[in-house]
Chain A
Amino acid sequence: MLLAIDTSAGTSVAVLNTNVLAMATFDDPFGHAENVGIAIAEAMTKAGVTASEITAVAIGRGPAPYTGLRVGMAAGLAFAQARGIPTYGVMVLDAVAHSMSTPKLLLHADAKRKEVFVAGYESGVRTFGPAVMQPEELESFAGYEKVQAVCDASMVGLFTLDQLAKGADLNDLSALYLRSPDVSPSPGKRVSG
């Protein structure tokens, strides 16, 4: 039984065996810290499972706005650690692409600060990204169907099951920020003169 957690957009949690048994979603683009616990509890209740029946956790690693992303990742990592079960990390645009069947697909998602997170796929295989760029730069991808990606936990869960079945490595659990913290060393400023 897989518990999938994604806070790349709103807050969503799904419980899956081979299919999605239940999902709890809060669309609020903020409120991840408030909602993540309720969503986990609700998804398990709807699926009729207890925490002890969960055998693995999948988390969305982004790219996504950082503050919310970390909440779901922290919750998933802690849940898995507390139960002594494996955690799998999923690049969320891959999960969205997996849910679609577009031959040439360019997924983009809001990266804040007037930028977008982008990944390109051909026949389901990622050929570009994930990267962060200006929205105008999307124009240069001719022939791709451009879709705004909104990930949720069912996509993360289904992609995880698919990848595990194929023997893929989902062990990277680091957050995909794609940008350095927005800060630079300051020399300090004079107060007089």
Chain B
Amino acid sequence: MDFRGLTVDDLSSVMELESSVFVSDAWSSESMRSEIESPNNFYLGLFEDGLIGYAGLSTIPGSFSSDIQTIAVSSAARGRGIGRALMQELLRKAKAQGSEQVLLEVRIDNEVAISLYASLGFERIDVRKRYYQPDNVDAVIMRLRITQPLVLGIESTCDETGVGIVRGNRLLANALHSSMDEHSKYGGVVPEVAARAHLEAIAPTLNKALAEAGVQMKDIDAIAVANGPGLAGALMVGIGAAKGLALANDKPIYAVNHLIGHVGADVLERGYVQLPTIALLVSGGHTSLLLVRDLLGDAVLLGETIDDAAGEAFDKVARVLGLPYPGGPQIDKLAATGDPKAIRFPRGLSLPKDMEKHRYDFSFSGLKTAVARYVEKAEADGETINPADVAASFREAVVDVLLTKALNACAEFGVDRLLLGGGVVANARLREVAQQRCEAAGIELRIPRFSLCTDNGAMIASLGAQLVMSGHAPSSLGFGAESTLEVTVVQSP
């Protein structure tokens, strides 16, 4: 016996079984086709020398609720627990999708089915009179409640100490302590300063998150922690704390990938993340372009920066212009009154020759140098520059190259979705141009709220919760910090 997801290629064998099982009220072939084809549905078949049973689950994204659409077992194969096995698979799927309840309707005269559902935990909640026609039979509405796991996540990859709490795909708390101000006098994140700040912030941030969620530590079902990529010394503080928490209450621990966490943050915005998607993650530490087909199992790094991260370039250019750290908001403000076309700064790795080796990679070091040269030359020549024009032109160069490559990836991989994440998403021009270009290209643009875009503990908790809901085993207690963790490793063993 073999389970497998059904496609329209299976339509004829499904219809053969459908009309033999539901003689008087079988679905039409057209209805069945659209059921199987719907992206919200999951149809599962059981094969043994051909199809002997199938069942369908429907989950409207963001509804936190699933419906059993149908279930059929060939008369010859009954009495072998096949209906139960199909149901269990669908319930597993519903749980993994974050559903908090599963609903179904069943003929009131089908006692065998009703008792099967009851044994799986379904409760009778309503009766719909004469629901099944033409037989004029009532339907019993049954519901299974699913308690999704309460997961606490810790983020300490860079300069933000984040503790988030989720229940399944719902956000309960997102507490944050940033050491950004302590780095400002250095013009960038200093790893030792960040690590010290994490140790001081971890206990208060934990308390804040628990209070915000209104839960106690003993209620937490699992702990998640970002173990990379990031600054080693900073990561280790989060890992130490996560292990302490897990052991204190004998809870499982999940070591998860920070970058995949960013992609999954959208789950907390609307209850699910629509896949496949191209994800552009831009911050002071990362500039990465990903193709994500499955959050927990299929993410590919298409390209990343080969030198400075985009956020770092903003900080460095801000410094050239005599603006304080962090540079992003400062440049954004100054650029608002500048002409983005005043100076044509270079677009890194965008020449035809770069398209082979660095098609989706980024480089901002040359751009930063070009801006510095421009300013220094003007100074040397005794000319005054227009800082607003420099800021606007620099910002335009960054935004242009980021979005050109991201939209190229959408086109090349046939993915009509783009997700933005990372602190640079706060940049007004990036959001504006992303909206314009995505609209023109017919691409759905997703930008989670800012507190879920910057580094945060909630996205780590969320990724941990998805691993729990999908039945993944916890990580071992012996994992460490992985500064250069690859995006293909969603969870460290």
**Nearest-neighbor residue (CB-CB) of A13 within chain B:** B247
For the complex formed, measure the closest distance between the CB of B361 and the CB atoms of chain A, giving whole angstroms: 22
Bound CA–CA A186/B203 (angstroms): 32
Decide if B195 is an interface residue (CB 8 Å cutoff): yes
Bound CA–CA A71/B249 (angstroms): 19
Bound CA–CA A178/B235 (angstroms): 22
* B478 contacts A38, C-beta separation under 8 Å: yes
Which residues, 137 to 187 on A, are CB-close (under 8 Å) to B?
174-175, 177, 181-186
* B199 contacts A81, C-beta separation under 8 Å: no
A28-36, A113-121, A122-130: which one contacts chain B? A28-36
A-chain residues with CB within 8 Å of residue B195 when the two chains form the complex:
66-67, 70
Bound CA–CA A78/B206 (angstroms): 9
B-chain residues with CB within 8 Å of residue A181 when the two chains form the complex:
190, 192-193, 196
For the complex formed, measure the closest distance between the CB of B199 and the CB atoms of chain A, giving whole angstroms: 5
Decide if A133 is an interface residue (CB 8 Å cutoff): no
* A74 contacts B478, C-beta separation under 8 Å: no
Given contacts A33-B236, A191-B369, contact A77 B196 (CB under 8 A): no
* B186 contacts A186, C-beta separation under 8 Å: yes
Question: Most chain-B Cβ atoms within 10 A of its Cβ — which of A67, A80, A184, A193?
Answer: A67
Given contacts A34-B479, A188-B320, contact A73 B199 (CB under 8 A): yes
For the complex formed, measure the closest distance between the CB of A183 and the CB atoms of chain B, giving whole angstroms: 5
* B200 contacts A78, C-beta separation under 8 Å: no
Decide if B232 is an interface residue (CB 8 Å cutoff): yes
Given contacts A74-B202, A185-B187, A191-B376, contact A34 B480 (CB under 8 A): yes
B-chain residues with CB within 8 Å of residue A35 when the two chains form the complex:
478
Bound CA–CA A192/B371 (angstroms): 11
Bound CA–CA A83/B220 (angstroms): 12
* B207 contacts A186, C-beta separation under 8 Å: no
**Nearest-neighbor residue (CB-CB) of B380 within chain A:** A193
Given contacts A32-B240, A78-B206, A190-B376, contact A40 B480 (CB under 8 A): no
* B240 contacts A190, C-beta separation under 8 Å: no
The size of the chain A interface, using a CB distance under 8 A, is 45
Which residues, 8 to 36 on A, are CB-close (under 8 Å) to B?
31-36
Bound CA–CA A50/B250 (angstroms): 9
* A79 contacts B247, C-beta separation under 8 Å: yes
For the complex formed, measure the closest distance between the CB of B345 and the CB atoms of chain A, giving whole angstroms: 14
Decide if A60 is an interface residue (CB 8 Å cutoff): no
Which residues, 186 to 225 on B, are CB-close (under 8 Å) to A?
186-187, 190, 192-193, 195-196, 198-200, 202-203, 206-207, 217-218
A-chain residues with CB within 8 Å of residue B248 when the two chains form the complex:
51, 54, 78-80, 82-83
For the complex formed, measure the closest distance between the CB of B404 and the CB atoms of chain A, giving whole angstroms: 25
Pair count A-B, CB < 8 A: 146
* A192 contacts B233, C-beta separation under 8 Å: no
* A74 contacts B373, C-beta separation under 8 Å: no
Decide if A48 is an interface residue (CB 8 Å cutoff): no
B-chain residues with CB within 8 Å of residue A77 when the two chains form the complex:
202-203, 241, 244
A-chain residues with CB within 8 Å of residue B239 when the two chains form the complex:
33, 71, 74
* B202 contacts A186, C-beta separation under 8 Å: no
For the complex formed, measure the closest distance between the CB of A52 and the CB atoms of chain B, giving whole angstroms: 9
Chain A proximity mask over B179-191: 1 for CB below 8 Å, otherwise 0: 0000001110010
Bound CA–CA A184/B113 (angstroms): 73
Given contacts A67-B233, A78-B202, A78-B206, contact A41 B247 (CB under 8 A): yes
* B244 contacts A79, C-beta separation under 8 Å: yes
Decide if A63 is an interface residue (CB 8 Å cutoff): no
Decide if B388 is an interface residue (CB 8 Å cutoff): no
Main secondary structure of the interface of B (DSSP, over half): helix
Decide if B237 is an interface residue (CB 8 Å cutoff): yes
* B199 contacts A186, C-beta separation under 8 Å: no
Bound CA–CA A33/B237 (angstroms): 8
For the complex formed, measure the closest distance between the CB of B453 and the CB atoms of chain A, giving whole angstroms: 26
Bound CA–CA A67/B247 (angstroms): 21
* B244 contacts A186, C-beta separation under 8 Å: no
Decide if A103 is an interface residue (CB 8 Å cutoff): no
Bound CA–CA A67/B253 (angstroms): 22
Decide if B245 is an interface residue (CB 8 Å cutoff): yes
Bound CA–CA A41/B248 (angstroms): 10
* A72 contacts B240, C-beta separation under 8 Å: yes
A-chain residues with CB within 8 Å of residue B244 when the two chains form the complex:
36-37, 40, 74-80, 82
Which residues, 318 to 338 on B, are CB-close (under 8 Å) to A?
319-320
Decide if B481 is an interface residue (CB 8 Å cutoff): yes
* B202 contacts A67, C-beta separation under 8 Å: no
* A190 contacts B372, C-beta separation under 8 Å: yes
Decide if B78 is an interface residue (CB 8 Å cutoff): no
Chain A proximity mask over B456-493: 1 for CB below 8 Å, otherwise 0: 00000000000000000000011111000000000000
Given contacts A31-B480, A34-B479, contact A82 B249 (CB under 8 A): yes
A-chain residues with CB within 8 Å of residue B253 when the two chains form the complex:
37
* A70 contacts B369, C-beta separation under 8 Å: no
B-chain residues with CB within 8 Å of residue A174 when the two chains form the complex:
200
Question: Most chain-A Cβ atoms within 10 A of its Cβ — which of B242, B243, B319?
Answer: B243
Which residues, 57 to 94 on A, are CB-close (under 8 Å) to B?
66-67, 70-84
**Nearest-neighbor residue (CB-CB) of A175 within chain B:** B199
* B249 contacts A74, C-beta separation under 8 Å: no
A-chain residues with CB within 8 Å of residue B232 when the two chains form the complex:
67
For the complex formed, measure the closest distance between the CB of B97 and the CB atoms of chain A, giving whole angstroms: 30
* B187 contacts A183, C-beta separation under 8 Å: no
* B186 contacts A51, C-beta separation under 8 Å: no
Bound CA–CA A175/B478 (angstroms): 24
For the complex formed, measure the closest distance between the CB of B367 and the CB atoms of chain A, giving whole angstroms: 12
* A33 contacts B481, C-beta separation under 8 Å: yes
Decide if B377 is an interface residue (CB 8 Å cutoff): yes
B-chain residues with CB within 8 Å of residue A51 when the two chains form the complex:
247-250
Closest 4 CB pairs of A and B: A78-B244, A74-B240, A37-B243, A82-B248
Interfacial residues, chain A to chain B (CB-CB below 8 A): 31-38, 40-41, 44, 50-51, 54, 66-67, 70-84, 174-175, 177, 181-186, 188, 190-193
Interfacial residues, chain B to chain A (CB-CB below 8 A): 185-187, 190, 192-193, 195-196, 198-200, 202-203, 206-207, 217-218, 232-233, 235-250, 253, 316, 319-320, 369, 372-373, 376-377, 380, 477-481
